[in-house]
Chains A and B, each alone.
Chain A
Amino acid sequence: KQEVTQIPAALSVPEGENLVLNCSFTDSAIYNLQWFRQDPGKGLTSLLLIQSSQREQTSGRLNASLDKSSGRSTLYIAASQPGDSATYLCAVYSGYSTLTFGKGTMLLVSP
């Protein structure tokens, strides 16, 4: 059974810092990996989807990498802003489109 772990569980940084969120998964036989953002009490906003044949994806200040062999992904956020404060969820596609989620990293960026 696939297990997804995210470290750290919570992170507090001052505005402007670059930061890295980590995600690990136990079964490397995944299709894709997706990073989401979730604001308190709200839905899931897709940030980046990395297909199994890719090693990274970039969108603006976000860069996500995938190393299937080691069962790891990282989400890099450059020049963090207070508006980046949210919970970031990593999810892996174990079946073709059935997702297994991590518990998330709660990020607080202070002005």
Chain B
Amino acid sequence: EPEVTQTPSHQVTQMGQEVILRCVPISNHLYFYWYRQILGQKVEFLVSFYNNEISEKSEIFDDQFSVERPDGSNFTLKIRSTKLEDSAMYFCATRGGGNTGELFFGEGSRLTVL
């Protein structure tokens, strides 16, 4: 069964450093999403991306965050200058063009900011 693949599985970084999280979506999927889950809290929507542009973003997704699809396969989330409160599990999700709208999630990237 096709999978959404995320790298790295775990990253530890110093506050103020830039981090890039990567996602390889299911091959024929065109809609991409990032969600995050702070330890002990709900999974929260960050951003959706279609046709090489952001289609929707939450209030969490401020100027420190950016997304892109640099090479037509990877989908990345960049955090420009990490803060302690950015420590969380980040999930990539993708969707095909079918009418169920079902999202398929990756295993997540755990980010720890020290």
Residues of A within 8 A of B107 (CB): 42-43
The residue on A at minimum CB distance from B4 is A43
User: Size range of the interface on B?
Assistant: 20 to 34
Overall SS of chain B's interface = strand
A-B contact pairs, 22 of them (CB 8 A): A32-B100, A34-B102, A41-B89, A43-B91, A43-B106, A43-B108, A44-B43, A44-B108, A46-B102, A49-B102, A51-B100, A89-B43, A95-B56, A97-B31, A97-B101, A98-B45, A99-B35, A99-B45, A99-B103, A100-B45, A101-B44, A104-B42
B43 touches A91 (CB 8 A): yes
Q: Can you name 19 extra interface pairs (CB under 8 A) apart from A44-B91, A97-B48, A101-B44? A: A32-B101, A34-B102, A41-B89, A42-B108, A43-B106, A44-B105, A44-B108, A49-B100, A49-B102, A93-B101, A95-B56, A97-B31, A97-B33, A97-B102, A98-B45, A99-B45, A101-B42, A101-B43, A103-B41
